[in-house]
Every structure is written in structure tokens, then in C-alpha cells.
């Protein structure tokens, strides 16, 4: 179904290109119309697949949560502990920066969308089970949950927005890649040789 009139695979093409545009110019530079023009279709063609602009972003976010859940599941399967789940989290952000950005910016999304809700719930469940795998070593589980999630989310966000570079913090690591930075930094929380005890 690609005949000069029908594109054939417009939905996938839009998502792919949207991700690239968002990578380069951010979610606010993303124009549905210019994107359609670039793909050689009329400016309203994407509406039949996504409804409106927000629909494209919702689809990206849903796709993103699904892949994130998958990566976290795989990482847990490898038995690397929560630190490796964190590395997987940051790795996902690095590989899919546009998806990651959109996933966590609710002002871009329709939060009531059923598919999005399901995908996010699934990803969060993986995250929680990663923390729970720390077991009895942790005395304050809510704090461990927030601490673990926040530190990797923080690393991912600061890296993606270029703030790690601009602040000079990245230079301190002398060219180490992001997963190394993540291991050394997040390792201070839940190191490979066991977490610190949480003192009263």
C-alpha cells in the first residue's frame, strides 16, 4: 500500500521523524505540519493516525514506556541488582532521548489515554520490583525507592539537557561514558558491594 497516493507506512514514519526532530529542536520545536511536508504527504495526513499533535506525542511516550519496561525487565533478568537497572534506565534515556523527554513532560500529553496509562504502569512496576529486590538490606523502602529512581532520573535528565556538560561536571570524569558515570555516581547509593545502612 504505497502507490503515490497512500504513503504505506505513515504512522511509523511520523513517529521516527518526530523523534529525530524532538532530539534536535526539543518538543517545542516540533511542528506537525513541517514534518508532514518533509515526509511528502499533506499536512493533515498524520491526523488519521494520531488524531492531533498531542496524539503523536502520546504515541511516542507509550512506545517509550514499553521499551523502558522491556529494558528494565531484561536487566533484572541478568541479575545485576538495582544498580544495573539504573544503568539500563540511563541507557534508555541516552538511546531514545526524544521518547524520554516526552514521557516525563505531562504538559505535552493526554494523561488519560488508556494505552499510555497501561504502558507507564508497566514500566513503573518494573522499577518498583527492582528496588524491592534490594530486600532486607534497606530499612526505609519508600526512601530507597525515591532515592534510586531520582538519582538515575536526575543523571539522565541532566545529561540529556546538556547540563552535565555545561556545568563542567562531565569533564571531571575525563571522557568516561554515561554508564560509567552512572555506576560511579549511583554506586554511592547502592553500590555493588552493598548499600549503606540508613541511620536513624
Partner DNA sequence: CCTAAATCTTTACAGTGGCAACTTACCGGC
Partner DNA sequence: GCCGGTAAGTTGCCACTGTAAAGATTTAGG
CB 56, CB 46: distance < 8 Å: yes
From the list a copy of itself, DNA, none, pick the one residue 20 interacts with, judged by a Cβ distance below 5 to 8 Å according to partner type. none
From the list DNA, a copy of itself, none, pick the one residue 32 interacts with, judged by a Cβ distance below 5 to 8 Å according to partner type. DNA
Q: With binding defined as CB under 7 A, does residue 5 bind DNA?
A: yes
Q: How many residues bind DNA (CB under 7 A)?
A: 24
CB 69, CB 122: distance < 8 Å: yes
From the list a copy of itself, DNA, none, pick the one residue 133 interacts with, judged by a Cβ distance below 5 to 8 Å according to partner type. none
Task: Indicate the residue among 49 and 73 with the shorter CB distance to DNA.
Answer: 49
Applying the rule CB under 7 A, the residues between 10 and 69 that interact with DNA are 10, 30-34, 41-45, 47-49, 52-54
From the list DNA, a copy of itself, none, pick the one residue 66 interacts with, judged by a Cβ distance below 5 to 8 Å according to partner type. none
User: To the nearest whole angstrom, how small is the minimum distance from the Cβ of residue 69 to a copy of itself?
Assistant: 13
Q: Provide the residue count of the chain.
A: 200
Distance CA 11, CA 23 (A): 18
Q: What angle do CA 67, 69, 70 make, to 5 degrees?
A: 60
User: To the nearest whole angstrom, how small is the minimum distance from the Cβ of residue 29 to a copy of itself?
Assistant: 6
Please give the distance of CA 184 from its chain centroid, rounded to a whole number: 21
Task: Indicate the residue among 6 and 166 with the shorter CB distance to DNA.
Answer: 6
Residues lying near a copy of itself in the complex (CB under 8 A) are found at 25-29, 104-108, 111, 120, 124, 127, 140-147, 149-155, 157-158, 161-164, 166-169, 172-173, 181, 184-189, 191, 193, 195-196, 198-199
User: To the nearest whole angstrom, how small is the minimum distance from the Cβ of residue 117 to a copy of itself?
Assistant: 9
Applying the rule CB under 7 A, the residues between 115 and 174 that interact with DNA are none
Interface positions with DNA (CB under 7 A): 1, 3-8, 10, 30-34, 41-45, 47-49, 52-54
Amino acid at each position: 500500500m504505497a502507490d503515490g497516493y497512500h504513503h504505506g507506512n505513515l504512522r511509523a514514519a511520523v513517529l521516527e521523524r518526530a523523534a529525530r526532530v524532538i532530539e534536535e529542536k526539543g518538543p517545542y520545536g516540533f511542528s506537525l505540519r513541517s514534518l508532514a511536508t518533509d515526509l511528502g504527504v499533506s499536512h493533515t495526513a498524520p491526523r488519521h493516525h494520531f488524531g492531533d499533535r498531542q496524539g503523536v506525542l502520546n504515541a511516542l511516550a507509550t512506545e517509550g514506556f514499553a521499551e523502558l519496561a522491556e529494558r528494565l525487565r531484561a536487566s533484572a533478568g541478568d541479575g545485576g541488582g538495582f544498580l544495573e537497572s539504573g544503568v539500563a534506565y540511563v541507557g534508555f534515556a541516552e538511546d531514545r532521548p526524544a521518547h524520554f523527554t516526552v514521557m516525563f513532560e505531562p504538559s505535552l500529553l493526554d494523561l488519560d489515554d488508556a494505552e499510555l496509562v497501561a504502558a507507564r504502569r508497566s514500566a513503573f512496576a518494573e522499577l518498583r520490583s527492582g528496588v524491592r529486590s534490594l530486600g532486607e538490606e534497606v530499612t526505609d523502602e519508600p526512601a530507597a525507592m525515591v532515592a534510586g529512581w531520582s538519582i538515575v532520573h536526575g543523571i539522565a535528565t541532566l545529561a540529556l539537557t546538556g547540563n552535565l556538560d555545561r556545568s563542567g561536571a562531565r569533564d571531571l570524569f575525563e571522557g568516561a561514558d554515561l554508564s560509567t558515570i552512572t555506576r560511579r555516581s549511583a554506586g554511592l547509593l547502592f553500590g555493588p558491594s552493598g548499600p549503606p545502612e540508613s541511620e536513624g
